[in-house]
Amino acid sequence: MKRRSVIKKLSGIVPFIGMAQPLQVKATDLSQKDSIGKGPFKPNWESLQQYKVPKWYTDAKFGIWAHWGPQCQPEAGDWYAREMYMEGTHKYKFHLEKYGHPSKFGFKDVIHEWKAENWDPEALMKLYKQAGAQYFVALANHHDNLDLYKSKYQSWNSLKVGPKRDIIGEWEKAARKAGLYFGVSVHAAHAWSWFETAQRSDTSGPYKGIPYDGKLSVKDGKGKWWQGLDPQELYAQNHPLSVNSLDNGQIHKQWNWGNGVSVPNKAYCEKFFLRTIDLIDNYSPDLVYFDDTVLPLWPISDAGLRIAAHLYNKSIHEKGSLQAVINGKILDEKQRQCMVWDIERGQSNTIEPFSWQTDTCIGGWHYDRSLYERHGYKSARTVIHTLIDVVSKNGNLLLSVPIRGDGTIDSDERAIVEEIGQWMQKNSESIYQTKPWKIFGEGPAMDQAAPLNAQGFNEGKGKPFTGEDIRFAIKGDILYATLLGWPQTGKALLKSLTPSAFRQIQKITLIGTAEELVFEQNQDGTHIIFPESKPDLSYANVLKIS
């Protein structure tokens, strides 16, 4: 079969526009992936609605994420590879001072600086497991388009440039050894428009009008460290700019491949498809997180649908039943039956009928040294409160812990992760393998919860939790009620636990201390007397009610 006919067969569901970009794969590569793998799942929404979330995921509740790649090397925060090309911004000025002008030292050169010289994945995994994580997710590529694995279809990968290591391979080995489920996060579908800032040039000053390095070609690398590599395979900028591309915030409005975005061509979409299938086939992740509206390149291509069908069928073939998870964002009710809905930096305000996930970070997504210097991370208290709230609503928490370019975490982060572990060691029975009760909670914070916005982003916008806020979860015939603070009067009232609403209570134990508490159940609810002395980490107090 000729490549042209195969690409036509595999192309998206609507026409593409944009200039052609060479696809450095053979026709046989494409045809081998055409089958989507044998199995019950087909690349359409109706077929994907057969999906059932695996028990390991619904039981796990808590995962840790290493959102780590070359953009962590400057230690200047998130989206560095895009914003270093935005004249006048903080990251642009930072880049000028640290590396030089982006016409001479572009992001490809930042990748060259990244060596991961102190990275010890097994040591980090041990820490994450001690914190109570049941699964671990590693960044496989970001919008910067560098594959952090042995990539058959992307020459710009971490074995050939930067650290010269198989980042995903080493993460996977460490996670499996620690007994954790392993996931990958995939973000590279957006490089096409996200990197458009690299096509710009300064509008004033000594470099006015001199293009940044976003349009360089392979011939420009003669005598350079990147000789033989094509910068366009990384930047993907041989195409017209999106409408209003000089508006730096426009990228958010165009995230769903609408509103005047430059639409990727067929070759770009198919290459992304093959890169992702290659990742799935070689590393067999239990979970794949997509940083996209719904699925990658949807609705301009069916690449995401084909990837989902392939992953599900592969899981059934290898494990005998469907054990794979896909995270997607901004899903409608139908799509939430096809994968696990992910809410970025936010929480649902109700018990969801299907499993879902909050993803958040204790700092910025990419390492930011200034956060460390001003001690600006989320506290362990905030993380634990988020976990308890999310679990009460049928969700999981995926927590990112920023990693420095050299592969280490800082002392503040380590202290936070260790404190999370201290709480989990005593109280995790109220988290793992639980299900929502008939209501998720009670207390004043419920009345001032902030609504979701786009991907989520309602985190920290509601009323702070106090000892009057309670969250529920059940496991078998045990009800767990967690007070998100120590009761100021030494007494607590659980209004929902009246004799008519809940069976007669036999015993209430504060599991952090294993102390049995005095209580009275009447038509007002259940009145509980707390000990005079507070236990350690008294910002989340779990009552085991039987």
**Closest Cα partner for 271 from 33, 1, 14, 5?**
33
Residue 451 has what pLDDT? 67
Residue 464 has what pLDDT? 84
Q: What angle do CA 234, 237, 238 make, to 5 degrees?
A: 120
CB-CB contact of 386 with 360 (8 Å): yes
Return the CA Rg of the chain: 25
Q: What is the pLDDT of residues 499-533, one digit of tens each?
A: 988 889 999 999 999 999 999 999 999 999 999 98
Torsions phi, psi of 395, nearest 5? -115, 170
DSSP, res 331: -
Strands (E), 145-191: 181-186
- Which residues of the chain register pLDDT less than 50? 1-35
Residue 143: C-alpha distances to residues 3, 251, 324, 398, 524 (Å): 27, 12, 24, 20, 54
Pairing outcome for strands 287-293 and 181-186: parallel
**Closest Cα partner for 7 from 268, 185, 228?**
268
CB-CB contact of 456 with 356 (8 Å): no
E strand or H helix at 441, and its extent? Answer: strand 441-442
SS3 content of the chain, % helix, strand, coil (to 5): 35, 20, 50
E strand or H helix at 107, and its extent? Answer: helix 107-113
How far is the C-alpha of 177 from the C-alpha of 484, rounded, in Å?
A: 34
Which residues, 6+ apart, have CB-to-CB distance to 398 below 8 Å? 63, 64, 65, 137, 289, 327, 342, 357, 358, 359, 360
Strands (E), 368-412: 395-400
CB-CB contact of 13 with 37 (8 Å): no
Sheet of 541-545: strands edge to edge? Answer: 441-442, 470-475, 478-483, 541-545, 508-510, 515-516
How far is the C-alpha of 351 from the C-alpha of 440, rounded, in Å?
A: 6
Residue 245 CA to its chain's centroid (Å) = 26
